[in-house]
Amino acid sequence: MFSDKKAFQESFKKRLEQSYSISFQDSTRAQQFVTLSNMVREHISSEWIETNERYRKGNKQVYYLSIEFLLGRLLGQNLINLGLYETLETWLADLNIPLDELEEIEPDAALGNGGLGRLAACFLDSLASLNLPGHGCGIRYKHGLFEQKMVDGFQMELPENWLRYGYVWEVRKSDLSVDVPFWGSVDVIERKEGTKFRHVDAEYVRAVPHDMPVVGYGGETINTLRLWSAEMSTMTPMHDVLKYKRETEAISEFLYPDDSNDEGKILRLKQQYFLVSASIRSILRRFLSNGGELKELHKHVAIHINDTHPVLAIPELMRLLLDEYQLSWDEAWHITERTFAYTNHTTLSEALERWPIRIFKPLLPRIFMIVEEINERFCKRLWEEYPGEWGRIEKMAIVANGEVRMAHLAIAGSHSINGVAWLHTEILKNREMNDFYQFQPEKFNNKTNGITHRRWLLKANPELTSLLTETIGDGFQKDAAELSKLAPYADDSAFLQKLWDVKTKRKEILAKRIFEQNGVKVDPSSIFDVQVKRLHAYKRQLLNVLHILALYNKVKADSSYQMAPRTFIFGAKASPGYFYAKRIIKLIHSVADLVNNDPATKGLITVVFMENYRVSLAEDIIPAADISEQISTASKEASGTGNMKFMMNGAITMGTLDGANVEILEQTGPDNIFIFGLKAEEVMSYDKEGGYRSMDYYHHDPLIRRTLDQLVDGTLDDKGLFGVIYDSLLGENDQYFVLKDFESYRKTQEEAGRIYAEDQARWRKMMVNNISGSGIFSSDRTIKEYAKEIWNI
Ligand code: GPV
């Protein structure tokens, strides 16, 4: 179908006309998009079948369970991975169809909030591209992450509707549906052989799988992402049909829009159990139908749980092995502990999941019994190890104080626990999870995150990809480690000029988009200083915006103040219930209004907030960045992954020594990155011992004082909107050390601006050193480590 131009064009036109009963001339871009995508999906179907056949022959399978998969668009990426992009681009151009316009039609699959969900998507791409048997299991939310609409600087949330016109990449498999039980009670039946448990009077929800192909680079391997949709089950008697239907479908209706924050709502717990119960049963069914022997399960199946959201997979597997397959507890536990591995993604306490028994027990009565039993046996082992140390055991228990602690369950039931960057893992081992580390040090390991260079370089930045290809050959496209071949070009002025031209081109593309969306003219020769990520206090967008306001004050106070023109670009969604975060978004807009419209700073400082930040928008923003803002309070950002995407596209990191920034520094060396602010150790000791007084910084630094006063003196608004921010910094002693790090940040920013303006050669060299050092941050490297050290595949 895609091997011959004429045949392709004929078939494309014919299918278009047959599907829509419309002449090719009159067809819309949307119809063309659907037709092309369907052709691609059919094209890969034989490889998909073949991949599954191959996997049936007994090699170990990995299942990556995640409550989020933030995929973005798939058409362009699939074509790249199949090696078809350029061919089809020209063949379609012949028909007067620009391929990029078709790509624009595709809605982002936004089944995730931010880093955690995007990491899952990058991992799927790497698994398939490395020809590894790894599949995703998730929820097919009818509505993905909300769409952000800005109204007068305030965030409004609109329901997202990616399934509105049907979804071309999924295959519904009703015959593989599974019924998931909720509520009811447990019958205890005493038998000669032992006690049996039966979950009775349950209300069932049908989980219907929708499979999506995950196309590996080179097209040899097509893995599967299985997303479950909740529907009515025929197993539940229908007393109140409407209520039952509503409550059932609610389970896969919405993605919870909270990033690193535990909501604790019963619907969320239902989602979690729904995902794992359906997934584990479908994993077991497939294993058994291929002739697998249950006692050997852990040798043929690895199940990974992405943070604690899917941790009920552990008691669910226990339940099946005990109740349905009659294994003994010890046999079942032996298998379970060896099958599961768990990744922790945060140390923030507000993100640690804990479920009140009062909610947990009635909803999942049998699962709760099993969790209690796991807890009892776990505590017994602790007692043997630490006789008499009640305090320690209480702290480590899985069930305590009326709550189930999901992270403790994950640790007890997994053979591997990993953090997502070196520093993060050290903090887990030495602080947050130190008791568990002392007890079982061999379980703990680090796997520094990565990103797929196929999306974040080949797809997002074709201009840079071509330049790299003509310079170092195309080897890096398959193996990102080959980006290191670029290192010698850091002193090649002809190459540096071409690199500069590529960056400029990408800045022009973004400038055009900014003008279309925001009506703001930005200068592509200004520094593009970018912070795009979820809005969160610990990520400190506030530090960035206060610095802008201070810069404005400097220019206003001293017209001879020298600075390179800068465009500050923001993109961020705030969780709808996170009032403080939303207020910071409003503050960014107010500062933008002030500085963009003042003749004194016009053309010198420009601030842009791009609405509805999402994967497809990131693909336009990141290639255009000069400076990458990674300024979280040290110790708070587990890893970050945006930092890696920017680096690979030649932006220079402005960052704290937090998360993976530490490893970025290790790769670039200190001359190719801007590091500022408190170290993690310092933050943690202030947190523990106190000793920081934000008010001192207000009193002793006139620039800080002037800038903070403007939050409340009517400069920005006269309704007192920013009093809460002012109070968080002064009244509540600035929990995230914004003022403490302010001067260090300001100075480092000044230094960056000076190099950009006065030492372009040096800046260009820094760009090269970033790109050439970024190969290690390909998720291919990460996945190889998981495969070898955790999954044993
Ligand atoms: I927990 N992360 C996230 O996006 N959502 C969550 O609910 C939790 C963690 C993020 C971390 O904040 C990032 O530092 C990290 O890079 C990312 O997960 C992937 O590991």
Q: Does some domain include residue 640?
A: yes
pLDDT tens-place string over residues 609-618: 999 999 999 9
Check pocket membership of 420 for ligand 1, CB cut-off 6 A: yes
> Is there a single domain that holds both residue 131 and residue 44?
no
> Is there a single domain that holds both residue 382 and residue 473?
no
Q: Does some domain include residue 437?
A: no
In the predicted structure, residue 237 carries a pLDDT above the cut 80: no
> Is there a single domain that holds both residue 66 and residue 92?
no
> Is there a single domain that holds both residue 256 and residue 389?
yes
What is the CATH number for 398? 3.40.50.2000
Lowest-confidence pick of 182-196, 215-229, 351-365, 754-768: 182-196
Give the position, in ligand 1's atom list, of the atom nearest the Cα of 113: 4
> Is there a single domain that holds both residue 164 and residue 200?
yes
Nearest by Cα to 651 from 664, 633, 663: 664
Q: Does some domain include residue 556?
A: yes
Q: What is the pLDDT of residue 194?
A: 85
Q: What is the pLDDT of residue 8?
A: 97
Q: What is the torsional sign of CA 259, 261, 262, 263?
A: negative
Cα(181)–Cα(249) distance, integer angstroms: 14
Cα(30)–Cα(413) distance, integer angstroms: 47
Ligand 1 midpoint to CA 340 (Å): 20
Cα(476)–Cα(468) distance, integer angstroms: 8
pLDDT tens-place string over residues 369-393: 999 999 999 999 999 999 999 999 9
Cα(566)–Cα(654) distance, integer angstroms: 14
Indicate the pLDDT class of residue 262, thresholds 50, 70 and 90. confident
pLDDT tens-place string over residues 345-355: 999 988 899 99
Does the model's pTM come out above 0.90? yes
CA distances from 323 to 285, 330, 332, 607 (A): 15, 14, 10, 60
Q: What is the pLDDT of residue 97?
A: 98
Check pocket membership of 108 for ligand 1, CB cut-off 6 A: no
Check pocket membership of 779 for ligand 1, CB cut-off 6 A: no
Indicate the pLDDT class of residue 585, thresholds 50, 70 and 90. very high
Q: Does some domain include residue 542?
A: yes
In the predicted structure, residue 181 carries a pLDDT above the cut 90: yes
Ligand 1 midpoint to CA 307 (Å): 9
Annotated catalytic, 534?
yes
Residue 350 burial by Cβ neighbours in a 10 Å radius (0-12, 13-18, 19+): exposed
Q: What is the ipTM for the molecules in this complex?
A: 0.96
> Is there a single domain that holds both residue 271 and residue 381?
yes
Annotated catalytic, 5?
no
Q: Whose CA is nearest to atom 6 of ligand 1?
A: 260
In the predicted structure, residue 236 carries a pLDDT above the cut 80: no
Cα(142)–Cα(144) distance, integer angstroms: 7
Check pocket membership of 260 for ligand 1, CB cut-off 6 A: yes
Check pocket membership of 565 for ligand 1, CB cut-off 6 A: no
In total, how many domains does the chain have?
3
Cα(126)–Cα(239) distance, integer angstroms: 47
pLDDT tens-place string over residues 300-322: 999 999 999 999 999 999 999 99
pLDDT tens-place string over residues 752-763: 999 999 999 999
Q: Of the residues 68, 69, 263, 346, which should be mutated to test ligand 1's pocket, given the most ligand atoms within 8 Å of the CB?
A: 346
Check pocket membership of 775 for ligand 1, CB cut-off 6 A: no
Q: Tokens standing for 188?
A: 């205890």
Q: What is the pLDDT of residue 697?
A: 98
CB 644 within 8 A of CB 660: yes
Ligand 1 midpoint to CA 150 (Å): 25
Name the residue range of residue 137's domain.
Answer: 58-73+108-414
Q: What is the mean pLDDT of residues 407-433?
A: 98
Cα(311)–Cα(406) distance, integer angstroms: 7
Check pocket membership of 119 for ligand 1, CB cut-off 6 A: yes
Q: Does some domain include residue 123?
A: yes
Q: Does some domain include residue 422?
A: no
> Is there a single domain that holds both residue 47 and residue 69?
no
In the predicted structure, residue 670 carries a pLDDT above the cut 90: yes
Ligand 1 midpoint to CA 713 (Å): 37
> Is there a single domain that holds both residue 207 and residue 119?
yes
> Is there a single domain that holds both residue 67 and residue 12?
no
Ligand 1 midpoint to CA 345 (Å): 5
Q: What is the pLDDT of residue 240?
A: 84
> Is there a single domain that holds both residue 69 and residue 95?
no
Residues of the chain with pLDDT > 90: what percent?
A: 97
Annotated catalytic, 57?
no
> Is there a single domain that holds both residue 297 and residue 377?
yes
Annotated catalytic, 554?
no
Q: What is the pLDDT of residue 193?
A: 81
Cα(355)–Cα(325) distance, integer angstroms: 28
Cα(526)–Cα(504) distance, integer angstroms: 10
Q: What does pLDDT average to over the chain? A: 97
> Is there a single domain that holds both residue 294 and residue 352?
yes
Q: Does some domain include residue 604?
A: yes
Among residues 319, 443, 447, 533, the one annotated as catalytic is 533
Q: What is the mean pLDDT of residues 217-227?
A: 98
Q: Does some domain include residue 790?
A: no
Annotated catalytic, 645?
yes
